[in-house]
Amino acid sequence: MTRCALVIVAVGLTTLTGSALAESPTTLTAIVGTNDGFNITLNDAAGQKVSRILPGTYTVVVDDRSRIHNFHLASNDDPTVDFRTDLDFVGQKSFTVTFKNDNGYAYACEPHWQVMSGSFFVTDAPPPPPPPPPPPVRTLRAFVSGAGVVRLSSSSVRSGRYRIVVNDRSRADNFHLAGRGVNKRTGMRFRGSTTWRVRLVRGTYSYRNDRLGSKKRLRVR
Reported as a single tens digit per residue, the pLDDT across 146-186 is: 999 999 999 999 999 999 999 999 999 999 999 999 999 99
Query: Does residue 204 sit within a domain?
Result: yes
Same domain, 116 and 150: no
Q: Is residue 172 within 8 Å of 148, Cβ to Cβ? A: yes
Same domain, 118 and 45: yes
* Mean confidence (pLDDT) of the chain: 89
Instruction: Note down the domain range covering 177.
Output: 137-220
Specify the pLDDT at position 8.
27
> Tens digits of per-residue pLDDT, 86-114?
999 999 999 999 999 999 999 999 999 99
pTM (whole model) above 0.85:
no
Query: Does residue 129 sit within a domain?
Result: no
Tell me the CATH number at 77.
2.60.40.420
Q: Is residue 116 within 8 Å of 38, Cβ to Cβ? A: yes
Same domain, 41 and 117: yes
Q: Is residue 40 within 8 Å of 108, Cβ to Cβ? A: yes
> Tens digits of per-residue pLDDT, 23-48?
678 999 999 999 999 999 999 999 99
Rounded Cα gap, residues 114 and 110, in angstroms: 9
Question: 182-185 and 156-157: which strand pairing?
Answer: unpaired
Same domain, 89 and 168: no
Query: Is residue 136 over pLDDT 70?
Result: yes
Rounded Cα gap, residues 205 and 220, in angstroms: 8
Specify the pLDDT at position 25.
84
Alpha carbon dihedral 25, 100, 44, 133, in 10-degree steps, equals 140
Specify the pLDDT at position 10.
32
The CA-CA-CA angle for residues 119, 121, 127, to 5°, reads 130
Residue type, 27: T
Burial degree of 60 (CB within 10 A; 0-12, 13-18, 19+): buried
Q: Is residue 98 within 8 Å of 137, Cβ to Cβ? A: no
> What totals of helices (H) and strands (E) does the chain contain, helices first?
1, 18
Same domain, 91 and 147: no
Specify the pLDDT at position 213.
85
Specify the pLDDT at position 19.
38
Same domain, 49 and 113: yes
Same domain, 106 and 70: yes
Same domain, 103 and 178: no
Q: Is residue 158 within 8 Å of 191, Cβ to Cβ? A: no
Same domain, 62 and 142: no
Q: What is the DSSP letter of 49?
A: B
Rounded Cα gap, residues 206 and 187, in angstroms: 17
- Which one of 122, 151, 178 terminates a domain? 122
Q: Is residue 165 within 8 Å of 139, Cβ to Cβ? A: yes
* Residue 173 CB partners (closer than 8 Å, separation 6+): 144, 148, 150, 188, 209, 210, 211, 212
Same domain, 103 and 67: yes
Same domain, 54 and 87: yes
Query: Does residue 208 sit within a domain?
Result: yes
Query: Does residue 33 sit within a domain?
Result: yes
Burial degree of 26 (CB within 10 A; 0-12, 13-18, 19+): middle
Query: Does residue 8 sit within a domain?
Result: no
- Which one of 72, 91, 122 terminates a domain? 122
Query: Does residue 127 sit within a domain?
Result: no
Same domain, 95 and 166: no
> Tens digits of per-residue pLDDT, 5-28?
323 223 333 333 343 334 678 999
Count of structural domains within the chain: 2
